[in-house]
Amino acid sequence: MPMPAESARLGFLDWLARERRASPLTVVAYARDIAAFLGFLTIHLGGEPDLAALADLRTGDLRAWLAWEASEGAGNATRSRHLSAIRSFFRFLARRHGVANPRVKLLTAPRAKRPLPRALTVEHAISVGRDIGEESDVAAVQARDEALFSLLYGCGLRIAEALALNVRDAPAVGSDAMLTVTGKGSKQRVVPVLPAVREAVGVWLKLHPDRQVSAPLFVGVRGQRLNPGVAQRTMRSFRRHHGMPEHATPHALRHSFATHLLAGGADLRSIQDLLGHVSLSTTQRYTDVDSARLMEVWRRSHPRG
C-alpha cells in the first residue's frame, strides 16, 4: 500500500529537525507550508494524496496550487518561499522514498515585487549635503563629505559612480560644465551639475591632498580612494543625529533626485537618461512612488478621506 503523503511529511519534518538540525522556527514554517500544500491537493485531486499521487502531479496541478495561494492573498514573495519548502520536501522524497517528480524542480517561482524606491523629503535631502560635514571636526573631511553628498543628490549618482570619479572629472566652479559619469556596464552618461554642487566640489578641491588629474576625487584619510563603507557610516551617524528615517542612505539620495524631479514636472525619458537606466520600466517605478505620495496626501487632506 503506497505511503500517505502526510506520513511522508512527518518523516521529512523529523529528518529536518534531527539530521539537518534546522531551527525550530524553520521546522514550524515547513510543517505549515507543506500541510497547506497537501490540503490543497486533497481537494484538487478529490482525495488524500499518497506518494504515487505526488510523483504523478502535473505542471498544471502545481500551477493550480500557486494560483490558489494567490487567491488566498499570498504575495509573490510568500508563494516563492512556499515553493522552496515544497521543493525541499520533494528532494527528501526522491532520496528517501525514490519518488521523483521533475516538474516540481522546473516550476518557475513567482517573482517577488521590487519594493518602491524610498526617497527623502526635499528638506532632508538638502540638509544632508549642507550639514553632513558636522559629523567631523576635520575641515578637509567636512568639505569632502559635503561635496560627495551634494553630488549624490544633485546629480543622482550611485555611490560607486561618485567614488570612481577622478580629479580631472570634477566640474569647474562658475561654469555650466557637465559631469561625465561611468555607470553600470561601463556605460557613460552626461549630467548637469547645479551651481551649489560645483561650489561644494570646488571647496573640497582646494583642500584635496593630491590635485593631480589622475588622483581619485574623493579620498580617505590615508590618501586612497574613499571606501563606500566610510560614506555609509557617515550617513548612518548623520541620520541618527538629525532624526532621519532608517532608509536615509547614500542610495536614497539617488532615489530622492529622481522622485523630486518627477514631482517637479520632469518627464520620464529625461530622468531615465540622467539616472543611466537602460530600461524605461526601471525609471517608471518612480511614478508609483509619486502616485503613492499623492494618495497619502489625498487621505490626509480630503474631508471624506
- Return the active site residues: 158, 184, 251, 254, 277, 286
Cβ-in-10-Å burial (0-12, 13-18, 19+) of 156 comes to buried
Q: Report d(CA 218, CA 92) in Å as an integer.
A: 53
**Alpha carbon distances (Å) from 20 to 14, 37, 88, 89, 177:** 9, 22, 12, 13, 61
**Alpha carbon distances (Å) from 63 to 103, 109, 203:** 10, 10, 60
What residue has cell string 517577488? 112
Question: What grid cell was written down for 249?
Answer: 542612505
User: Residue 239 CA to chain centroid, in angstroms?
Assistant: 19
What residue has cell string 560645483? 198
Q: Are 65 and 35 in contact (CB under 8 A)?
A: no
Write the Ramachandran bin of 210: left for phi over 0, alpha for psi from -120 to 50, otherwise beta.
beta
Straight-line distance from the first to the last Cα atom of the chain, in angstroms, rounded to the nearest whole number:
62
Q: Look at strands 188-192 and 178-182 and give their pairing.
A: antiparallel
Question: What grid cell was written down for 284?
Answer: 517608471
Positive or negative, the Cα torsion across 187, 190, 194, 200? Answer: positive
What residue has cell string 577622478? 166
Which are the contacts of 6, defined by CB distance < 8 A and separation ≥ 6?
A: 38, 48
